[in-house]
Chains A and B, each alone.
Chain A
């Protein structure tokens, strides 16, 4: 479903992604961890081409992203993205945030799109916030609206870039719960996170990145109990200790 082949990316002279080889299958939940600045976000953002790769081959849903003629808008319809800072549209209500893309991109009629938006809002547990503006919602609620917004396009893949890093601790659980449900329903998910509990419990595979490289990848049980690389061990001991 997602296939990186010897992908390299530079920001100017800076080599952010180094020889990335990665295959993600349909229905898989892959969690990416690693120190800040190691290229996790960049890797994720390549998948829906918010960033372009400099070299190598990247195929997502049978579309070759390195092909300049690739229909990126079409590709993005099937990939939902959830950001660290939610990026909800502040001038639109929760419901409008969710129904905008289905209406404008999928050309779903307004009442149908609104009806579906309400269903997604129920799915993430806040049907009563339909008419609230983002500024009137807590961080956890905003992030759940953002997830509903991503789901409303009925994507095949959901990308999460540190979805709980900007949240107060008491709100992290409600967002992870929604993500856990999604995983259980078989959604293909790529999640950058520092929530090791979530990785251990929900991931099919954990990937450790450092300095633009994939250092290690494994099933979560094996990954956490028996890390192979020295750097993985050091990273894990740092994040798991406190």
Chain B
């Protein structure tokens, strides 16, 4: 396989890459949740134009490659005179892409709550917002947790797209180190393990949450 001690010399590259992957994922997670919520609201709004915009968004970003979207933000925008860092471009690309999937998960979750729930809460005098907040969303939340967890894990893995635009993430670090040490197998295996350090606890956490919510009902 190779010599592990060769990699030790690149400790700092790996740490930087790990932190970049982690922070890009976190930032994109928060942003994509916002984007996803807004788009899901548009799709559920029952206003024809807004619904159409929401649907167009989801279908466009879900059905085009993430790499192209990130390229656009990293190279396309600067070519139009709007300079943003590779990190920002990557995080925005990831947010917009993941937001489309999250929007779909949220919409499906909200729509799976039986209609009678909204009717019951509205007929007791609660406003639409109150009904959503106290009756519909808590039920939708349980349904949405598993797909949302999946999106979260996908997001971390997809953040490796930053490597393509020299975004300094984990995969980028691996590319750099392997090209200098020629320890290709070892380097990529090691980096895969570092991804697992993020994604495995995430999967585990989602499973736990899912189980706890299931017990409640």
Contacts and interface: CB of A to CB of B under 8 A. Distances in A.
Q: Say if A and B assemble together.
A: yes
A83 interface: yes
Contacts, number: 66
B125 A153 contact: yes
Interface string A134-166: 010000000000100110010000000000000
B119 A50 contact: yes
Contact of A100 (B114, B134, B139): B134
Interface stretch (A87-95, A124-132, A222-230, A234-242): A87-95
B62 interface: no
A89 B119 contact: no
Given A89-B135, A101-B125, A135-B217, A81 B130 contact: no
A104 interface: yes
Contacts of B63: none
Given A50-B123, A74-B125, A105-B125, A87 B130 contact: no
Interface residues of A, number: 26
B119 A104 contact: no
Given A89-B135, A133-B217, A83 B126 contact: no
B126 A81 contact: no
Given A73-B125, A76-B123, A80-B124, 15 more contacts: A48-B123, A73-B127, A79-B123, A88-B120, A89-B120, A89-B135, A90-B139, A91-B139, A91-B142, A100-B124, A104-B134, A105-B124, A105-B125, A105-B130, A146-B120
Interface of B: 114, 116-117, 119-127, 130, 134-135, 138-139, 142, 216-217
